Structure 1
Amino acid sequence: MSSPDSRKVPQKPPASFTIEPEHLRSFTKPLWRVFATAGEHPAQWDQLRHFGPIEDMRFDPHPLPRGFHPGVGVVYTASNPHTALAEVFQASRVIDRTERARAIASWTPTRPLQLLDLTSNWPVINGAAASMMMDNKANTQAWARAIDQRHGGPSFQFSAVPKLRFGDSFLESIGNVIPKLPGNAVIESAGNSGPGSLGSAFGESVGDAFRQLSSIPAHFDTSETWGRTWLRLYEAKNATPTSGTPAIDGLYHQSSINNEPLVTLFRRATFITAFPKRPSFYALLDDASADVIIYEAVRKLGYQPVKRA
């Protein structure tokens, strides 16, 4: 039996990562995603999943225990439609066009994505191996978690953030948080913006926070969630990464099904948005407009289709 330190992908990542320029890949090509619009964890085409980590998802960055983690999210995408379908339906090898009202979407990032390239020698020089792309998922999730926490954007210690109460007024609650923010940031009147003030960025962060909170389960403690989510949004929109520390949007890796490129995106891809207002292609798998994509995937993968209704 292998000792813990001889594993190809250790359970515990190193205390810090070595990241050289050759380990980063600038990605500007179209991305494809297959996702459920009904059932458990429904999503929009440009929405990250904040619930996790899910056991069979390789690079979920969510902290333990499993649950809803606002400000931490993931979306799995592929460089072409048949690989996106291959990943989603790999267990059954059957493309079910009706289950959970799944849809397929494609878009081109609105800015270059900075991705950590797992097909480079980065895993090896950091104590793992190329098998990271296909290794034990509990271990690879631990590495994804560390990558996102260290390089997905600056991070504050949430233990310093007070729990907000429904009885507090909005400004009183925000006033409790503001002293914990870096620098001399202050809230100015609506529409004002200047050095050292939150200004319009504050308004944008508040709006984004409410949009994220709209999908929180009813049993979740919304008061505390608001404080943590707002702080996450503020840090990503307004703080500057430590000099020399690369900011990473996600991971570039290969599919274990057909060896074609995959891109896994983390929180930075939405906080510093890389999504256009509309996708270049969108269709429910059950729609006739998806027929050509489905038939091509069946031909290339050998999967079986479930006919549309």
Structure 2
Amino acid sequence: MLPPPPTASVLRDAGVHPDELITWQPTELVWRVHRTTGGHVLPWNGMRTHGPILRFDHHPRAVGDHPGYGIWYGASSPRGGLAEAFQSARVIDREYGDPYLTGLRFLRPLGLLDVSGIGGAAWSTRVGGNHALDCAPHRRSQHWARTIFRAHSDLDGVIYRGRFAGSVSVALIERATDAFPARPALSLPLAHPALDGPIATAAHQLGYTIT
């Protein structure tokens, strides 16, 4: 069970050791699956200000629009992006909402707090928590996210393991807005024939179905 976080001042005093910070390089691709039609659609590089809803949303507690608080989620692999986007029904729907798979490279290195021990460190345990940040109820991990970003004003986000694909994922906040490129490296609708093979492979590995 994940305990509540310490205060922001305690986290600030604990600091971040060099091996607890992962620098995401501009040469590395990040993947996102996103709808392009329907309600509440954001562009591929758009920060969501409505929240808190998902795991590391750092918006104030009352769910609603919070200008000045932005969040963006991405995965290190297309499979990771598909796993997270279609986790609720475990069905990869290639048509509804005209979903796209987009891959991008950021314009500058990103400083990401390693909350899952991906780099071998144990920040979460050292400061009084544990690695359940990856899978704890969202309300609790959101509390941690709010405290983390109040304590450390130089972070662009956190890096963690996606709960469904187990792959590396990132959650970026508004401080990383300037790192987004004007155009993605690749962006294709999920219905594109070129994605038939990759989607079928991901669905097989995840145990998802395809429509």
Flag whether TM exceeds 0.5 (same fold). Answer: yes
Q: Does 1:254 align with 2:170?
A: no
SS class of match (1:61) = coil
1:14 aligns with 2:14: no
Task: Find the aligned partners of 2:95 and 2:147 in 1 and give their Cα distance.
Answer: 36
How do 1:268-287 and structure 2 match up within 5 A?
Answer: 268-270=175-177, 273-287=178-192
Q: Which runs of 5+ in 1 are unaligned?
A: 1-7, 154-246
SS of the aligned residue for 2:107 comes to: coil
TM-score, structure 1 length as denominator?
0.62
Q: Does 1:292 align with 2:192?
A: no
Query: Could you report, residue by residue, the CA deviation over 1:71-120 in whole angstroms, capped at 9, with x for unpaired residues?
Result: 11111110000111011111211101112222110011111111000123
- Uncovered stretches (5+) of structure 2, i.e. residues with no partner: none
Tell me what 1:144 maps to. Answer: 145
Given the superposition, is the C-alpha separation of residues 118 and 256 from structure 1 closer, same or farther in structure 2, using an over 3 Å criterion? same
| Shift of residue 9, structure 1, vs aligned partner | 2.2
1:277 partner letter: A
How many percent identity over aligned positions? 37
CA–CA distance in structure 1, aligned partners of residues 138 and 48 of structure 2: 17
Distance 2:190 2:6 in 1: 39
* Residue of structure 1 in register with 2:96 after alignment: 99
* Aligned counterpart, 2:173: 266
Instruction: Report the structure, 1 or 2, having the larger strand content.
Output: 2
C-alpha root-mean-square deviation of aligned residues, in Å?
Answer: 1.5
Cα distance, 1:68 vs structure 2: 0.8
Alignment TM-score, normalising by the size of structure 2: 0.89
Residue 296 of structure 1: how far off its partner (Å) = 2.5
In the alignment, the residues of structure 1 paired with residue 157 and residue 8 of structure 2 have an alpha-carbon distance, to the nearest angstrom, of: 19
Q: Is 1:60 aligned to 2:60, yes or no?
A: no
After TM superposition, the runs of 4+ consecutive aligned structure 1 residues lying more than 4 A away are none
| Residue matched to 1:156 | none
- Aligned letter for 2:45? D
Give the structure 2 partner of residue 119 of structure 1: 116
Shift of 1:31: 0.2
Give, as a single letter, the amino acid of the residue that structure 2 aligns with 1:139: R
Instruction: Return the letter of the residue paired with 2:136.
Output: D
- Contact kept, 8 Å, 2:80 with 2:166, in 1: the verdict is no
Greater radius of gyration (CA): 1
The question of whether the paired residues in 2 share the 8 Å contact of 1:118 and 1:251 is answered with yes
Q: CA deviation at 1:149?
A: 2.9
In structure 2, the residue matched to 1:238 is none
Change (3 A) 1:111 1:301: same
- The alpha-carbon deviation at position 12 of structure 1 amounts to 4.4
Give 3-state SS (helix, strand or coil) of 2:8's partner: coil
Q: Secondary structure at 1:104's aligned position in 2? A: strand
Q: Render the CA deviation track for 1:252-300: whole Å, top value 9, x for unaligned.
A: 1101223211111111110xx1111110110122233432331231232
Q: Is the 8 A contact 1:14 1:126 kept in 2?
A: no
Partner of 1:301: 206
Which has the higher mean CA deviation after the structures are superposed, 135-144 or 290-299?
290-299
